[in-house]
Amino acid sequence: MTIHQTTIRPAVTAAEQRYLNLYAALSERLPGARFAPVRAWRESALDAFTMLGVPHRRVEEWKYTDLRMLMPEVHALAGLSDEPAADVSLEGAIGKQLAHLEAYRAVFINGRFRQDLSNVQDVPGVTFEPLRQALEDEAAAAQTIANLSVKPNNFTAALSTAFATDGAVIAVAPGAKLDKPVHCIFLTSDDLPHLSVLRHAMSIGEGAEACLIETHAAGGLSQAISKTRLAVGARASLKHVRLFTGDASKQLAAAAVTIGRGAHYEPLQLAVNGALVRFEATIRFEGPDAQCHYTAAMILRGHSLADFTLVADHAAPNCVSRELVKAVLDGRARGVFQGKVIVQRGAQKTDGKQMAKALLLSDDAEFDSKPELEIFADDVVCGHGSTAGQLDEDMLFYLRARGIPEAEARSLLIAAFIGETLDKIDNEALRSALDERVAAWLTGDPNAVDPAI
């Protein structure tokens, strides 16, 4: 007798049905809809979403971020209209320093690439193409899908594939050494609440050196979902900075990163407020002698929530991973860090360490830290730690005793605490822009950010 295994599809709840209804209404208007391979690619991701469902607190990876409660509605999908693009001030959206940063710029607004605001095209050593353009090209669509291929094994990956209206497809040539950063700016305007969905594929060629900056700025009550496939080639070096900002917006982003032999990858994440910011990354060491130094910071007040979830997967020997996460939380803000280090069989000589530190500025702030180690090799050095506390009263007294007003003394201590993460940025203009963002947060009203859930 032959036994056939079948997959039992869970019952579709109202939370999932909202997304299924949205896809049914818009599927024919999505980029590449007229091509069967693109339709199959999207529908496969939608099937994966249906199996996974909208995550909630009983899903271990989302136990601190119940999405059914935090995103009970789905806004209209942006990026489908062919109407002329509205005028947008980059300075007003992301600040003067970031808007004028010396960089090769790719700008996406409300789910669409804006060529008129970008200058990343025709950069020596860099190939760039908007995802929408690639999916609408029948000859190129299959290769584009292959470059994007990551198993949609989580909510963010599945939805970003099913609904993507555009995205950045970027390749840095082997051996290229870029003289300026590549700055990808993703904006959602605050005119009407809507959903922006993007899908990105990025690769850094063997032996290349580059700096990649992402600015995610969401206005009003907008929602944003994105997924990035990033490959760092052998002996390549990439510094990767992400900034998430937006007081009442909800942003979900995910990245699947692979690191080749002898490569160096240095990601830094900074979240400034937001009703919800969740960034999840899987970083896989696929070649020996590679290094990853992951740094993250969140500065939140009001009812803001930021969740940084990371998996460092050591699948090759002699690799080093470091994770440092810092959180400054005021009002009823909540910060989450879930960090897992996996050492696969055969990944000997692995050196993996992670540390999370939180500064709680009010009695109602909360920091949830869940460090994990899964080790299947016996010659490794791995460890983790987590702390949370208030400002050092002795240090505060020391500064006040020297004539520094209390408010200024508190700001100095907070800036010094968070500054350890930003010290790793060697681009002076970028460091200055982020310092300015932190300073603006420090001088803000502690109760000013109070986004409705």
Domain membership of residue 3 (yes or no) is no
Residue 128 belongs to domain spanning: 14-392
151 pLDDT tier (thresholds 50, 70, 90): low
Q: 391-418: per-residue pLDDT in tens?
A: 988 898 888 898 899 989 999 999 999 9
426 lies in some domain: no
* DSSP per residue, 72-113: -S-PEEPS---SPPPP--HHHHH-HHHHT-SSEEEEEETTEE
Q: Is residue 68 part of a domain?
A: yes
Domain annotation covers residue 281: yes
Neighbours of 311 (CB within 10 A): 18
User: What integer pLDDT is reported at residue 4 of this predicted model?
Assistant: 45
- pLDDT at res. 452: 43
pLDDT of 260 reads 98
Lowest-confidence pick of 109-118, 145-154, 284-293, 368-377 = 145-154
Looking at residue 26, its pLDDT comes to 95
Q: How confident is the model at residue 2 (pLDDT cuts 50, 70, 90)?
A: very low
pLDDT surpasses 80 at 445: no
In a domain, 58, yes or no: yes
- Is the model's pLDDT at 265 over the cut of 70? yes
Considering all CA atoms of the chain, what is the largest pairwise distance in Å, rounded to the nearest integer?
86
pLDDT 10s digits, 191-200: 778 999 999 9
How much is the pLDDT for 152? Answer: 64
Residue 423 placed within a domain: no
Whether residue 450 is contained in a domain is answered as no
Q: In the chain, how many domains are there?
A: 1
Would you place residue 83 in the very low, low, confident or very high pLDDT band (cuts 50, 70, 90)? low
196/182 Cα distance (integer angstroms)? 21
C-alpha distances out from residue 264 to 18, 131, 203, 285, 340, Å: 41, 27, 14, 10, 20
Let me know if residue 357 belongs to a domain.
yes
Residue 264, exposed/middle/buried by CB under 10 A (0-12, 13-18, 19+)? middle
344-357: pLDDT as tens digits = 999 999 999 999 99
Band of the pLDDT at 446, cuts 50, 70, 90?
A: low
Question: Is pLDDT of 449 > 80?
Answer: no
Displacement of CA 45 from its chain's centroid (Å): 20
Residue 92: what pLDDT? 84
- What would the mean pLDDT of 55-74 be, rounded to a whole number? 93
pTM assigned to the model = 0.93
For all residues of the chain together, what is the average pLDDT? 91
